[in-house]
Structure formats: structure tokens, C-alpha cells
Structure 1
Amino acid sequence: MATATLAPVKSQLVDNLPKRFQGIKFGIQSNQDIANQAVLEVSDRLLYDVDNNRAPFQHGPLDPRLGTSSKIGKCDTCQESLQNCTGHFGHVRLPLPAFHIGYLGFVRTILQDICKDCSRILLTEPERRAFLKELRRPFIDNLRRTQICKKINEQCRKTKTCHYCGSINGQIRKVGVLKLVHDKFVAYNKSTSMKKVPPESKIAFDASFDEAKKQNPDLDKHLRKAMEDLNPLRVLNLFKTISPTDCELLGLDPVEGRPEMFIWQFLPAPPVCIRPSVAQDNASTEDDLTTKLADIVWISGMIRLALQKGSPVQTIMEQWEYLQLQIAMYVNSDVPGLQQPGFGKTVRGFCQRLKGKQGRFRGNLSGKRVDFSGRTVISPDPNLGITQVAIPILVAKNLTYPERVNDYSLKKLRKCVQNGPDVWPGAQQVIKSDEGGYKISLKFGNRRQVARDLKVGDVVERHIEDNDIVLFNRQPSLHKLSIMSHLVKVRPWRTFRLNECVCTPYNADFDGDEMNLHVPQTEEARAEAINLMGVKHNLATPKNGEPIIAATQDFITAAYLLSGKDRFFDRKTFTYIVMHMMDGITHLDLPPPAILKPGMSNCNQSALRCRCLRPPLPPPTCLLRAILPSFRLSSLPDPRRRRRRRRRHSLSPYGRLVRCDIPAPRSASSRLFAFVEYEDRRDSDDAYHEMHNKRIGRDDVLKIEWARTPPSASWRFDSGRDRERAPRRSSPRRGRSPSPRRSTRDYSPPPQKEDRRDRDRDYDRDSRRDRSRSPDRRGDSPRDAKDDRDVKDDRDVKDDRDDRDRRDSGANGDDRKPIDSPPPVHDDLDVAE
């Protein structure tokens, strides 16, 4: 069986892979770009063809190839309806160039910097090279570039004579709305010298008026005020001859922003769909842009016809000025001087359709309303933090967040489901996870049953609660700080409230401004909002790093009045001030009063100190891994008197001591730990460093945690403290009636007295209170009795300590470590949990 050989088939290359933008470059639209993007040239002012059933006229402002404004019509270019066709641009060819009303200020600046004869910039060659070197430096920012261009403009204004052609250059003045003149001989005319000699150019300029003076002799007295007219045609010819290097000195791009692009030669005709016609009975109402475009086409045709016929110059100049006026109103009709009184209704140009509250940006693009957003008036609330925003309960019940049920939130979400959509905090609906995302509305039905059936994995769209993350925005959003994330505080009334210190980045005030609220709907969005857009992460403006969120108005006034000299407050006023400085729930330790007599008073510095210092943290509890002799200090007068008071006194210089305890019983084998508690964790680190010559590390601390209960209840040592004690026999009472005995013995130390259980074996009673020793009730060993006799005999300290160490070594069966030995390693100790 023969097998057929398949010939290779050439497959078509399909380049439909996703593309990635490398960059966007902005520039000025040139006249050639306007002509290239147009689908036709608008050359006729007629709108409709009456003989053809009022169809749009070909090459008119409503040509069907520019798009359609009718719901039943189709575009002749793309054959699409109004819903799918975005329209197509056309263009109008102008017979004479015209100034662009938006670029007129830039045109005047460029004319001031260049020579009006040779188009060279008015700088010397060394200055030219120096400025070019500055502008061509790598990584130069726009701010520095703007400063250099401003220096160039100032230097060119001082130059009166061109360094290359020698012609005189004066000031550029704006006369009227769209007219520029060159006051060339302003320096000569203002001079009062009797010996001044007119330059040759001045003589030639005056000679050009000889023919006019013959016809009008009165013109001679006005020649001193004569100026050179800079019409668009002459300015265009000057701009075309500017070199690329001079364009760089003028701050322009030699390719994308040539100065001749600032002058109209082709006028764009917008699509029909953005200037629709309103049809009526046998008539139609046209848009302002359509009417103005028809006027421009009409006056352009008249100028073109006048140039062909050779009409008088005055007639052509009047028509040319009228054409520039119509083009300016076509672009921006709000320029002063364009709208003449009694001219009729105000024409809405391109700029009026884009800017303003009803424009495309604010009215259409930024005016969109989306889900999970709210908008209302804002008002101040200085009691809120800068990260908080107060929203009304009505808004909190309408905005929801989909929270997934877990073991920790099950109880809370069940309560929200039972409350329903009308009680805050409640929920709107439940999305079941095991039923294909089935939604259950809580507005109807048995909410108790839905709450009982709620399980882990379901999603509850609950109301907005306190400390939820929301985005707060005020339009117009001009920079990234115009929208930031805040934490919710649900409050009554009907306005959004925020702290006054956060008004600056929003550019907000409280005269009726409205702001928008957006609720992120995912955990990822919430995390990004609080970390990237949080108020605390945007305290400084990206423009120059200055703080943009800071104290303002009443905050500064109150701080100034409070920080004045010789200001004292009684306790009631002082606590009232401190309470309002904080959030009302922060615990503070008030400083002692500055004045005790005749009445206790606090100074203003104490109030400011309470506000500046952070709230005190709960005292840290740390168990230091240390041998008891390590707490001996050479400053103690007698090392045998190491009572608790002495030990606390030796540890107190490192910080405020909360507790110092050594576990019971008092045998030498149990004295391997000391429980030391400071108010500040840094004080415990300093104390340990001074005693062991190193910082507290992982191997030196058995357990560090925040103290919740007293150490006697939260710390247990395997040293005999928890074992059951034998009841102590009471001593005979003398001369008193017996009082009721306690059922259980209280081991707490009496007030202002030392606990006898905490005394060392070397405790020496005062000689004035010496009495005969009572019989031993606890079965003291002969060794303890011998120690007591050694104390009375005042033996040598070193011999007594060595003798005790040997006895302890014999009693415990292990060698006791010397005093100067380093702290034991972590493996030798047990962790106290």
C-alpha cells in the first residue's frame, strides 16, 4: 500500500500576541498631522442638500464621512451606527495662517528672544555655548530646565542689537486680543538726549511712510509712535528659519515641538457625533461648533477669492482679522474681548466643552457613579485621628463588604445576619459556598434560620463597621494625595467628618464641599490601600518632601496659648486638658504637681510632656538567668546582710524597680534564680549588662513576656514554693484576749515590714532588740545554729563564705560554682513556663 506524501502547507503568520507599551511621547500636533488624520477637506459652508431630501451636503460641515449623529444613520467611512462609530476628523485649509489662541503667550516669548530679521537667538556665542552645556546635561529635571530657560529669556530681553546681523530689536507688545507688534525703536524714542542720531534702520523705516504722508499730512506727527506689525504670516516665516540648536535654547523639542507648530495652517474639523443636530419639523438646530465651522469655511473662501481677484490690502486685512477672531472663538470663547456686547448668545467652544463642572472631565469622566461608593458633604471633627473618617450610619448600612466566614468571625457574622439590612451592624445578603454561589437576601425570609445554617466558607456581605478600610477622595484629583485610605468610625448625622489637618492634601474646606467614599472589596485591595495609600504613609508631599499633613489653625493657636510662660493649672483643669489631648481612653501617669503650696498646680510643660511622650507600656516581666552572687555589689557595707531591701537598693539605680524576688526555700541549692521586674525593658537590659558585662540575649533570658498578673500567680518555680507547708505553731499570747484565728494562713508580708521568710541565714537582729533565742519550731539543723553563732562572733567574711560553700557542696552532692564564674549556659537551666 503506497503512502501519500503530504506536501508542506505554508501557514499564515498571525501576529496577534499581546503587545506591551514601551512609552508614550507627547508633542504638539503639527499641521501635517492634522491633514494626515483627516478623512476629507471641509470646503463648503452648506449643511444640507435641499434638492436631495435635506441630505448632508458633500464636503460640508455635516458630511456623512465625518460620522453620524442620527440613531438610524450610518457612517460612510466605517459603515457603523452611532453606537459603534466614534466619528472621524476632517480639516479646513486656511488661505492665510492664523494665531492659535492657546499658544499666543508662547509665540510672544519666542519673538522676544529671537532677532526679527535673521531669526537667531539674541545671545553671544559664549553665552550660547554655556547655556547649551547646562541644558544638555544628563538627568536634568524639568524644574532646572525651566530655570535655565527663564535666565535665557531675561538675558535676551536686555539685548537691543543682534550679535549676528546687527539689526535693532525692541519690545514685543500685544495690542488687542490677537495682534502682536514690534516696538523696534523704543530706546531711541524714549531718549531725551539732544545729540542723539537716528540709526539707518530708523531712517529707512520713516522713509517707508513718504507716500502715505503725501496723501495725509497729519500722519507725520504720529510717526514717532509707529510700530512694526507682526502678522501670522511673517511670524510663521521667522519661526521656520529658527535652527534646531536655537530651539533647544528656547526650551523646545527640535522635532516634536518646532515653533511653527504654534500657528494654524490647517484647522481640524471634529466628528459629527460630538456636535449633533437636533431635528425639528422641516428644520434643525445646529450645534455651536457646526455653526462656527461653517463661518470659518465661508470667510476662508472669501479671502481666497479676494487674493485671486487682487482686492485691496485693507479689505484682505479686515477679512483676515475676522477669520482669526472666528478661529479663536472656535477654540476658546471665554477670552476677554472676543464676545462683543449684543453679539447674541455665548458660543461654547472646545475649551468650554472640556473644562468646568459640566465639562467632559468633571461632568462625564469624573462624574461617574460606581457601586460601593458614597458621596455627601464634609464637615470637621477635631476629635478624630488623621487616619480616621466618620461616616453616617445611613451610609454604613448601604455600603457592604464581603467577609468570608471563619472560626473566629462566625459568632460575629451570625449576629450581623440576625440583625438584617435595617439594623446596624447587620448584613445585606449571604453567598453560600457549597451551592454554587447561591445568594440569600436577608431582607426577606427567616434570618434566624440563615444564621444557624451559616458555616465556614460562606460569604456575608455585612455593613461597614468601625476600623474598616475605605478610600476617601475629593475631585479634582490633581495628585496622588487627592485619594487616600482611612479607617471608618461610624457616627450619627448625615455628613462625612474628618480631621482638619488632613484638608490640605485634598484641598478641601467646609463651605459645602462634597467628597467621595469607596470601599475596597477584597483583602488584597484593603492591604494595598492601607500600606500604599494610608495617611501615615503620605505625610510628605512628593513634590519637594515637605510635610503636607500637619497641625493647622486651632491646633497651632491652642499650642501657642498652652506653651506660654507662667501658666499653671489646678488638677481639674490639668486633667481636662490632658484628656482632650488624647483619645479619652489612653492611660497616663500624671506627673507630680509643680507647685504644692498654697495649692497643688501643674505647669503647661507638664501637659505638653504628657502629649509628646508615648503612653506607657505595661511593665515587662523578665526572668534573668543569673546566679545569686552575681547580684552582690562591692558598695554594700556588709555582704552578709543581703536582705531584700539591700538587694532592691543595689538594683534600683538601673531603673524603676517593680519587684525583686528570690524563690523559697532559703537553701543554697535553690538560689540559682532571681526574679527581677523593671518598668522598662531597657532598664533590665542595662542592669544585666552592668552585672555580666554583656547584653541580654536569647541564651540569657528564659522567658520575656508582658506581665498580666503578679509574679506570685504567673510564675512558678520548682524550688519548693508550691509544696504543702506544715502549719506553724503559734506562740503563747500574753495579756490579750484571744482573737479569732484564720482558717488558712496568709503568706503576704505585713505592711512596712520585711517578710521573715525572705531573710537570709545571716540575718542579724538589732542589738537593742536582742533577746533570748526561742526554742526552734522548725527543726533547724545544727549547721544553721552554727551559722548564727558565727554571725555574732563576726568572723571573717571570706572564711565564712568558703565554709558555707563547702557545706552546700556536701549537702547537695555537687560543686557550687565560684562567684566570678561566667553565667551558666542555656542547657544547664530549665525554662520556667
Structure 2
Amino acid sequence: MGTTDFEFACETCHRKHPECPGHFGYIELAEPVFNIGVFDLVLLVLKCVCKTCGALLLNTREQDVHKKLQHMTGLNRLRQVAKMAEAKCRVSTSTEDDMGIDGFDSAPFNGGSGMGPGATRGCGASQPRVSRFYGIYPTLVIKAVHEEQDAEWHADKVRQVLDRVSDDDARLMGFDPQRCHPRDLVLTVLPVPPPQVRPAISFGGLRSDDELTHQIMSIVKRNNQLRRDKESDVQAAIDRSRALLQEHVATYFNNASTYYKPTKVNDTKKLKSLTERLKGKYGRLRGNLMGKRVDFSARTVITGDPNIDVDEVGVPFSVAMTLTFPERVNTINKKRLTEFARRTVYPSANYIHHPNGTITKLALLRDRSKVTLNIGDVVERHVINGDVVLFNRQPTLHRMSMMGHRVRVLNYNTFRLNLSCTTPYNADFDGDEMNLHVPQSLLTKAELIEMMMVPKNFVSPNKSAPCMGIVQDSLLGSYRLTDKDTFLDKYFVQSVALWLDLWQLPIPAILKPRPLWTGKQVFSLILPEVNHPATPQDRPPFPHNDSVVMIRRGQLLCGPITKSIVGAAPGSLIHVIFNEHGSDEVARFINGVQRVTTFFLLNFGFSVGVQDTVADSDTLRQMNDVLVKTRRNVEKIGAAANNRTLNRKAGMTLLQSFEADVNSALNKCREEAAKKALSNVRRTNSFKVMIEAGSKGTDLNICQIAVFVGQQNVAGSRIPFGFRRRTLPHFMLDDYGETSRGMANRGYVEGLKPHEFFFHTMAGREGLIDTAVKTSDTGYLQRKLIKALEDVHAAYDGTVRNANDELIQFMYGEDGLDGARIEGGQLFPLPFRDDKEMEDTYKYEYDVDGTFSGKVGGNYMDPHVRKMLRADPQNVRKLQEEYEQLTADREWSRKMLDLEDRDKLKLNLPVNPGRLIQNARSTMGKRSQVSNLSPITIIDHVRKLQEDLMKLFPSYHRGGDGYIRNTLSRERIESALTLFNVHLRQLLASKRVLKEYKLNDRAFEYLLKKLEPSTTSHSPHRVRTLGQSLRSRVVNLPHK
């Protein structure tokens, strides 16, 4: 059967281990036995066929039978046949003509001569009802009830019934008789796996067989005993041996079933059966194939480093000298690889693979200086700076948990990670470990570079928003750097320029008495040419308190940089840069911000001291007033409850309503105190600076540190009575006041009282338990969802299909757009415009007879254009058609969209035309000039743009000119583009372009060129699997 010994050869294939693959054996069983894995299938088949002759209990020529089964295969088909057979028997019970026992119609089954039209062969015997036995350990025996008498059917009896089933009936039940006839569901021969599956363990000269080997030996022993008992013809002994053989075979396959008591190897250890070795998290598939340990990988603790690029990973020298990349020698790299091979210190090489199959281990050579390489050799060189590797943190919940990084070899023994990358990995530096994998081929390396690098994954398709941004110290430094009171001297600005590789400084904001630059000017050195916010007012004000951020053409004009601007938020500066300039520019921006802000904090410093935690007397007085006010409010609620005048909430008792009102009042007290505490602290307070920057903390943290902790809740309500009618023994019975039920009136600086500390720990314990439970539940839910969706992908024809090529959606997301490239939050005012506003915005001036008025385009249209417009009567009809189309678009949007709240109606579209219009105005046009565009030109170009957009969608029904001829495909794509086209028409209406935006021909041409490439890049990558993280949506999980 094979050998696991290095010294002895296999008698079958004459090879030694490990070349011998192993060979299966078999045991011929003395009697058939049930296979525990398919026992339920045996029951289903028995319900479908006659227990005497094996004929199917259905009229196979009835049209209704084939109609119900024509789209069913496999197990579903078998279940349907069993259901129909059972239903036929029940229907037949209602008549008395020619009925057999149990309601089966025996008329068509009279041998062969009495068969009715379309009937199958049958014997007319009455049918027993078959089922399984029920109990703690019911065993693998079938219960047959016939004429109110119970009988036990063992495997040999069932095998006789299944032997009589015809091939045609087997096919109707869903079997392929050539591969698996129903009789094959009962075992007559037991396969024995080779020793490679169950290797013996040798230790200290002793040899110990595997558990499966012992179980097989037990099966052989019971099988031989059954043969001897059958020869002696003692029924009691036969029944006992048969039952033991069936039990041993069943537990050999599955020792965790409910049919038999688990078999034990010894007093404490259970047998690990075949099922347990294959299935589950630690089985062969998930544990050893999908989750196996691999070569060319490393794992160690991670620490932060703001000075490496966002797409880099710091790798220790010890790891870089152990992991290798195989590089084939050619005429271009021969000299470089020869230097690697001859060098004895890093960077060097470990092995040379020759074309003849031999391997040279360079560490064993005495003199490496004489090593020579030939074309075609493969050198396993050390990992060096710039190599691409795959970096991963478990649990791998979404695509951004595995990303490609460039190597930066550094001292010490930890992986160094840029802080902006911690968000998608959900990593921190409290002991987290991460995995690094080195690609072993140029193809793998190319896939990493093109698909998995960090810059390619800045925007998550989950939320259509950045999943990375400026965090922690860099965010704090950005806020302080761009503060209105930050001024920097020449030497500092020159140092910043060196960090950014810039060689030209802007003009200083202050020239005398000495040149000084504002922090905003320094921050502008990092910015690419963008506008933010993307769609500002026509004439934005300059706020005196510097509270509104305004960026024009890459210059920060006013406002401090906070988390909402450079954080991982939709519409943030990072999102705008990604959409306008691409991922590489975002990486450059993040790298520049981190270098500059780290250098700024290094020179200017920032710390939190005790003085930041102490509230002044005025603040404490205000907080005391809030507490007194809340205490009185609670007393009023208690008095109303005692007098039974308290308004009861829906579905609540009086006591529940009282608790809800009191808890709401106490929670509002903490929120009110937090807002007042933040507004009363000094502007330079370190806590306030961090909160306003968004780097750490909230106003609630200041309140809890300096003033009071507030109400402690368990399970969403106040601390319940744990003793007899009180929370702790220190309080009076039936005390419903705020102090005895979890209100902490002191802050962390002053220190909590004993009972407050006890309540505080109760709330903290609940948080820990809740986190642990949600981690388990959401992890299991995520696994089930991902396993169900893992084969769903966007195919090359634009449809969404599964692995069997079954259609899920005609168009991915019904709009065919990549979620990572969608811009949300776009205002859509069209459905809210009334008739007067529609005419003012979109309709031109006409006379009573329908011709152009003499005032048409008077203050917003070039006179030459007006003259040409009025010269051709066809132009009137074209402009009227545009207005009619916009009116129809308004009616369509009112019908299709939710119009409850105007401010909440925001569109998610592949491109933001409003932002591009603003860019065109600021880049190519002048605000004050009259446009030289013709309305007809605008309408024609917008229509052509909409036609061209259809060419971007994949389809197999495309003509030579790129247009789609197939009606269904065209309708599918038109439906996907409807909303975007409506939005485009209302934004680029000719009158708005001329009067509102005042775009000239150069600006309009620039806008159209920007619109088309932006939309082109927003179709989803083909054959990309679809899925997302569930845990991140349910709970923000801490981790080890």
C-alpha cells in the first residue's frame, strides 16, 4: 500500500519515501453496512421506490412529473421525487378502488399485463413507512412500519431493495447509474487509505501507529468475527457482531455524529475520524491547504515610522538577508548579480540554481570571489530597497488587509509601517504582528505593482471614500502649522523645502522687519493644483475667525487643516486629489504632509500636562449649576412618578418610563457639560487642540477628566439593583436617586468615590464582554456571507455572474460603476425647482410668436453669437427641445427619487461635474467676461458626450464604429446612464454655461476633455470578486 520509510521501497511501485504516493487497499465486508455520510440519502431513495420490487412510486409518463423535475438536478431533484411520491400515496388514500395498504394505488402495478398507459413496472405490494430511529444514540438502522408493526431494516435488507432499482428510475431521481447507482450508497467494500494518510510515528526507537490504523484494525477484527458468527449461524451473535461492525465503520468515517457514542482511543482522548480530519477550521482544506504556512514569508511586531513613504515597509536586516528573490541571469543584470553572489555581506545572495538542476549554497563556499555566473542561472539574492512585497495583517477582512509595499531595509527587529496605513489594516502599535510575503516570480511582482500597491487602494469601494488619511501626530501638526498665528522664519522654511525637494520659495507674507512665511504658505508647498471645497459659492467670503477652509489652485487661502479636510472622509482633500490627479499624487501629498509636520513638531513641540486637565473656577461653577439643574429635574420626574402623573411611554410601564426619562436627563447633562467645558477652556489647551484637529479625543473626554464622569450605563439603562432593592449595601432600600444608580459626580483628576468607581468598572466590563461577543458573531456572519459571494464577479461583458456563469445582475450595481471611483454628496436641485425657477435658469427669452426676443442673451451672450442665433429659425426649436427635455427630466426625477429632504438628496456619480466646472472657471476662464460660446454648440457637444459615454461600457454587440446595435444591450446601458445624463444635462444646460458659469470656448473644451476620461476610468475592473468586511460595519473591534 506504500511506504513512509526512507530505507524500504514500496512493493507496488518500487519507490521509496517520499516518491511513493501511496496506494489504496480495501476490505471486503462480511455484510453490507451503511455509509454514515449518505444515510439520509438512503432514506430519501427508499421513500421513492417500492420496498419489494424497487419500482418508482410515480407514473413517469405523467407530464406533471417531468414538468416539475425538468429544471432540478442532484439532491433537490431527489427531494422533489420523494415529496411527489409521498403526496401521490396520500392522494390515493382518499379512494377505495384498487388501493393497497398505506394508500398506494396498486392497479397499474399488476405484474405486466395489467399495466395502465404510462405506468412503470410494479408488484402491487403494500408499502411500509420508513424512517430513522430516534433516541440519544439511535444507531444506523432503518425503522419500517408495516401494518402497525415495527421492523428493523439493516444494510443488507436495504441493499436488496436498492439493487432492484432500474437505471431509468435512478436517472429520474437524479443519479447517474454509470457513476453512482443507488445501490452504491450502501457499502460492501471499505476503502483503506495508504499509510501516507495515517503515518506511524517513530520516537526513541518505538513505533506508534496512527489512530485511523487502530480503527481499521478494529474493523478487520469485527468483520472477521461476523464471518465466523455467520458460519456458526447463531442469530444473537450475528446481530451483535453486525452492530459492532456498523458502529466501527460509522465512527471511522465520523466520530462526532449523533448516531453513535464517540469512540475513544484512551480514557480521555476521542478518535479523530476522517470527517474531523477533513472539515472545519483545522481540517486538511482550511487548515493545511487554504491556511497553510508558506515559504518566503516573515512575521514580526510592527512599529510606526512617519519618515518612510506611505507605500513603503521597513524590513529588518535579518529578514532581508533570509528572504530571497529569484532573479534569472541575463546580459543586462549579469554584472550586478555576480557582485551579489561574490559578496559576503548584505546585500548578497544565498543560492544559485543552475539549468542542470544543481543548487549551489554560497554560504558553504570557502572563496566566493571566484564565483561565476552563466546566462540562464537563477540567483536567489537578498531582498533590497525597492523590492515589492505583500504585507498583511490578520484578520484579513477586506481587500485592503493585504497590500503591496516597497521595501526599505532598516536596523532593529521590527517591521516599520507608515501611520496612514494603519487604518485599512486596523493596526496599532501595542504589540500587533504582521506578515510579509516576497513574490517569487516576475508575474507575481507585476500583479502586485499593478493591482495591490498601497496607492492603488487609497479609496475603498465599500464606502466610495478614502480608507487612508492623515492621522495622529501628522494631523495635529497640520492643524498647528496652518493656524492663523503660525509664522515661520527663512531658515525653517528652507529646511522644509529640503524635506520636499523644492528649490524655490514663495514670497514671504511679511517682509519687514524680517521675512516671515505663514504656516498656510508652507502647507501650500505640499498641495497639488486643486480647489477645495469643490463647489464653493460664487463669491466666497473670507471669515475673520479663520474657520472656513478655502483652497484655490493649490494655495491654502484660509482655514486650519483638520480631520475633515485631510482625513479618510468622502469629499476630503485626499479624495479630490485622488480623483483629479491620481493615486501617485495622493501618495506624494501624504508623504510630504508627514515629513513637514513631523519636522514642525520636532522644532515647536507639543505635550499634554496637568495644567490642561484642571478646570478654572468659572467652569467648575457652570458645571455645578448643570448638575444642580439636572438633580432637580430628576427629583421632579421622581415626584411625578410617585404621584402617578408621569406620562407613560408607548409600550412601557410607569417604572420603565421613569427610568427612561431619568436616564435621558442624566445623559443630556453630560453632553451639555461637555460642550460647555470645551468652549470654556483656553484656545491653547492641548486637549482642545487635539479635539479640534481631530487627532484624538472628544469634548466628552475633557468633561470626564476635568469635571465629572457622568452617568454609567449597563445594557442601555442605569445600574440595576443587584442586592435586595438596592445597587450596593451602602445605600438605602428603594433608592432611585441618581447617586445610587450610577451617577459619577467627580472627574478623573479629582478621583472617583468608591461607589462611583465600582459603577464605572461595571460599565467597562460590559464593554469588554460586548466586544468579545460581537467579534465572534460578526466573524462567523462575515465568513458565511463571503463564502456565499466568493464566486460572484464582474464579467467582461459588464454583467455580474457566479462561477457557473449564472446571471446575477445585468450590470454591476445597476450602473456599471466601480465603487472606488464614485463621488458622493453631489447636490441635485432639479426636482425641487418650480416653473418660475426652471424658466429663469434654463429658458431663453422669447417673443409672443415664439421667436427670439430682442433681449435674448443681452448680458451674458456675445453679440456676434446673438446675431447668428437669431438668423436661423431652427435654433429656436433646438433650444425649446432642450428646455422640454429638462422639464421631462424634472418629472422623471420627481417620480424616481426620494424628495423628502432637499438637503439629503445627494447623488453618487462617477464624476463630479460641479467640481470640474469650478476647475474650468478658475483655470481657463475669466469670471467677468461674456462667454463667446453658442448655445447650439453647447447642446451639440453635450449630446455627443452622452453618446460617447455609451462606448465605454463593455458589450459583445458593438458595431465597427463603436456604437451598440443590440437593442437589449443598448437599453441596459441607457438605463445605467439615465441618472448621470439627467444630472449632466441640468448642470451643462446652455443657459447655465453662458450666464451662470460664464465659460468661454477654451474653458468649455477643457471641461469636456476632463469629463470623458474621468468617466472612462470609473468602470469596474473585470473579473473582480465582490465582497466587503462585515465586522467593521458592526463594531469597531480592538485586537491583540
Place the TM-score, normalised by the shorter chain, in its bin. Answer: 0.3 to 0.5
Larger Rg: 1
TM-score for the superposition, normalised by structure 2: 0.36
Normalising by structure 1, we get a TM-score of 0.44
